[in-house]
Structure 1
Amino acid sequence: MARRTQRFTEDDFESLEGRASKTEQKKAVHRMAALGERLAELSPKQIKNLPVEERLIEALEDVRSITSGEARRRQFLRIGKLLRNEDESVILSYLTPKQGLKKTAQLHRWVDRMIAQGDPAIKEFMKMFNAAEHHPIRQHILRVQRDIKQNLGEEAVAKSKLNMFNYIQQVALISDNT
């Protein structure tokens, strides 16, 4: 078989930079399914008041009537897929009162610490929160550092930090549940 003569350029890799791998996409669906389980624990009145699509509300209400373990698992995967279309910040704002302000402040400190210290802080965070994964955290840190390095402005850096905080918050909610 002949070797490929084409050399890849930096532009080829930059076009792939923001894309998640198939494995990361699957893990994100499972993470969202776990968030769906947390949402399903809310009262029916709270579920009705969620500012999300009607299909998601119906799916959360349907979970209550499902008794089969496998059927519940599939339903939560469906909920996870529906959650991808929603704003993470809004969903997390409904679940964070369960965490408390102290926990939220602690997670903000973790984000700042991981950005400043890198791998040692990531490893320590992963020991405390069993649902955490090294690669996504590292990717978020690299995005924040890239935005700072390229002087994209406070708004872009704040958005990158918010995305990282949302991931960290999801991990903390899921870890508390397991």
Structure 2
Amino acid sequence: MARRPSSYTEEDFESLEGRASKTEQKKAVQRMAALGEQLATLSPKQIKNLPVEERLIDALLDAQSITSHEARRRQFQRVGKLLRNENESVILSYLTPKQGLKKTAQLNRWVERIIKDGDPVINDFTKTYNATERHTLRQLVLRIHRDIAKQATEEEIAASKLKLFNYVQQVALISDN
């Protein structure tokens, strides 16, 4: 059997850049399941008006009628899996009214502070919102700083900032429980 060369090249690491680790993928699934729980608290009329797949709407309506703890857990895992195919921003926009404009403005300030000041603010944010994954937050901030350093287009920087804001908003929704 051939051995892998002992020294890694820059190309080896570049091919992995931007890919989530297994742990990050699992945490993302857990966040989506928690968002599904938040969506299930909406009224049936609001759920039916969500601009998502019909399967997701049916799964959310089913989740409201399930009383068994284990069955609810499995149902929300399914909802989380279905949510991965949906636009994160649209889903969060339906949950944002539950937070209110004041909370959204506060989260925007958190995002700006995190981008500007880095680790000390990330630590404060992690203490405030217990569902935060410090590593994921750092990776999102690092990507923004990398885009700025590479002088990427405004659209790319804005997309990176939107990903960070969506993550912060998800964490805030989940932590408020």
- TM (norm. structure 2) is 0.97
Corresponding residue for residue 9 of structure 2 = 9
The equivalences for 1:140-155 within 5 A come to 140-155=140-155
Q: Are residue 57 (structure 1) and residue 74 (structure 2) matched?
A: no
Between the aligned residues of both structures, percent identity stands at 74
Cα RMSD of the aligned pairs, angstroms, is 1.4
Residue range with higher mean Cα deviation, 132-141 or 7-16:
7-16
For 1:81-160, what aligned pairs fall within 5 Å after superposition? 81-160=81-160
1:64 is paired with a residue whose SS is: helix
Superimposed CA distance per residue, residues 88-141 of structure 1 (whole angstroms, 9 cap, x where no aligned partner): 000000000010111111111111111111110000001110101110000000
State the distance in 1 between where 2:166 and 2:29 align: 15
Provide the C-alpha distance between the structure 2 equivalents of 1:167 and 1:101, rounded to a whole number of angstroms: 17
Please give the alpha-carbon distance, in whole angstroms, between the structure 1 residues aligned to 2:74 and 2:87: 22
Amino acid aligned to 1:90? V
The structural deviation recorded for 1:173 is 0.2
How high is the TM-score relative to the length of structure 1? 0.96
Distance (Å, rounded) in 2 between the aligned partners of 1:76 and 1:50? 17
Quote the Cα distance in structure 2 between the aligned partners of 1:130 and 1:10. 35
How far residue 6 of structure 1 moved from its aligned partner, in angstroms, is 4.3
1:158-173 → structure 2 map (5 Å cutoff): 158-173=158-173
After TM superposition, which residue ranges in structure 1, 4 or more long, deviate above 6 angstroms? none
User: Match of 1:80, as an amino acid?
Assistant: G
State the AA in 1 paired with 2:33: A
Quote how far apart the aligned CAs of 1:153 are: 1.5
Distance in 1 separating the partners of 2:19 and 2:136: 12
Tell me the amino acid that sits aligned with residue 94 of structure 1: Y
Structure 2: distance between partners of 1:19 and 1:5: 22
In 2: Cα distance, 1:136 partner to 1:150 partner: 21
Question: Aligned partners of 1:33 and 1:4: how far apart in 2?
Answer: 39
Aligned length: 177
Where do 5+ consecutive residues of structure 1 fail to align? none
Aligned-pair CA distance for 1:27: 0.7
